[in-house]
Amino acid sequence: MTIGVGLIGSGYMGKTHAMAYRSAGAIMGDVPDVRLVALADATAEQASEQAAQFGFERGTGDWRDLLSDPAIDLVSVATPNSLHRDMAVAALEAGKHVWCEKPMALTLADAEAMEAAARASGRITMMGYNYVHNPAVQHARRIVASGRIGRVVHVRGWFDEDYQADPDLPWTWRARIADAGLGVLGDMGCHIVALVEAVAGPIVSVVAETQVIHETRPLPDGTGLAAVENEDVATALVTFDNGAKGSISTSRSAWGRKNRLDFEIHGTRGMILFEQERMNELRVFVNEGKRDEQGFRTILSGPDHPPFGRFVPGQGHQIGFLDLKTIEAAELLRAIASGSRPRPDFTDGLHIERVIHAIADSANAGGARREVG
């Protein structure tokens, strides 16, 4: 079986999709062959240049060309947030499978329309939450499911970066609701929701507040200031379906933080700690044995944490961000071949959107409790 691929967008995330498609077969070995058919971008010239670099057969300045091409079975949507709904829905209605980057859409209504289109089409979908595919995170999930740390009672998660910490950074489309939708919640908060839910289960209610730290930013042409319409920081108290409580927070204005995507899972017999900046490690504490010899154990990812061994043969040799994208692509390609459901798909993505929009709604209502869904 060969799966024909069309890619919309050749920026950073588009490049990761192209690299993942090209690597999946060589690394995993058990995925269908991929044919990189066409790449669409803002102009035909840019599309042709990037198609040649990424290994696609041709480029086009009109993304709709991908929908009418019978050689294309799967469309990757790696474009700005405001374009996700139209592109994903059109691809699904054209009978294509879809891999869409996060956040799912600008609004909850858009995300609902995308999920409905996916169900109506019967096509396979996947959301671009590559962090959940980390072998260390999946091992944490197995530990929790096994009962090793007892019943989960409390969860903490946070995702901090400093790409908007400098007040002198120019205003961009990311600061406008019409173009970006939610602020840090849509850009980063969705990732921490996806991560903690992958390990601890679904969130069912929230109580939240948000903050705009830099209310205006200088226009790029130096002619004045423009308002920042969406949040820089968000914090929420959360309740999980299993009764566990917890908190999640995210900031795009946290000086010194580059990719601090971490979580703690507290159980009645122990706890788990994961830190994305040390993504090949998992720290586990279990209350057993002599108290004077108890402590955290650091588990280095290795071949015993599949599919780590597909990349390198030994512990301590590390995999990276792009490798997680390859794992994600492989899961999608296998699902298309078998007709199975990859995770997270558009139904999972819609739930994540409902969580982050419930957080925003709670904050706008002065911290009122909001149920998810």
- Annotated domain spans of the chain: 2-130, 134-371
Average pLDDT over residues 139-158: 98
C-alpha 88, offset from chain centre: 16
Q: Please report the pLDDT score of residue 233 as a whole number.
A: 98
- Whether the Cβ atoms of residue 151 and residue 145 lie closer than 8 Å to each other: no
CA distances from 209 to 192, 233, 263, 359 (A): 16, 9, 20, 7
pLDDT at 358 over 90: yes
pLDDT at 328 over 90: yes
Residue that is written with structure tokens 């994208």 in the block: 325
Three-class DSSP category at 353: helix
State both tokens at 365: 């209502």
Average pLDDT over residues 121-125: 98
For residues 125 and 97, give the distance between their C-alpha atoms in angstroms, rounded to a whole number. Answer: 6
The order of strands in the sheet holding 260-267 is 297-300, 281-286, 270-275, 260-267, 152-160, 245-251, 233-240, 203-211, 370-371
- Whether the Cβ atoms of residue 193 and residue 248 lie closer than 8 Å to each other: yes
- Whether the Cβ atoms of residue 217 and residue 232 lie closer than 8 Å to each other: no
Average pLDDT over residues 271-297: 96
pLDDT at 29 over 90: yes
pLDDT at 261 over 90: yes
Residue that is written with structure tokens 């009978």 in the block: 95
pLDDT at 14 over 90: yes
Residue percentage of the chain with pLDDT more than 90? 98
Q: Please report the pLDDT score of residue 304 as a whole number.
A: 96
CA distances from 102 to 45, 95, 180, 227, 228 (A): 27, 21, 11, 24, 21
In this predicted model, what pLDDT tens digit does every residue of 193-232 receive, in sequence order? 999 999 999 999 999 999 999 999 999 998 999 999 999 9
Average pLDDT over residues 58-77: 98
The topology under which CATH files domain 134-371 is Dihydrodipicolinate Reductase; domain 2 (3.30.360)
Which ranges of the chain does DSSP label H, i.e. alpha helix?
Answer: 12-28, 44-54, 84-93, 108-121, 135-146, 177-180, 184, 190-200, 321-338, 346-364
pLDDT at 371 over 90: yes
How wide is the angle at C-alpha 73 spanned by C-alphas 68 and 79, nearest 5°?
75
Average pLDDT over residues 119-145: 98
pLDDT at 119 over 90: yes
Domain 2-130: assigned CATH number = 3.40.50.720
Three-class DSSP category at 253: coil
Establish whether the linkage from the previous residue to 344 is cis, with ω within 30° of 0.
yes
Residue that is written with structure tokens 């002198």 in the block: 168
For residues 58 and 77, give the distance between their C-alpha atoms in angstroms, rounded to a whole number. Answer: 17
- Whether the Cβ atoms of residue 303 and residue 309 lie closer than 8 Å to each other: yes
* Mean pLDDT rounded to a whole number for the chain: 97
Q: Please report the pLDDT score of residue 248 as a whole number.
A: 98
Q: How confident is the model at residue 373 (pLDDT cuts 50, 70, 90)?
A: confident
| Full-model pTM | 0.96
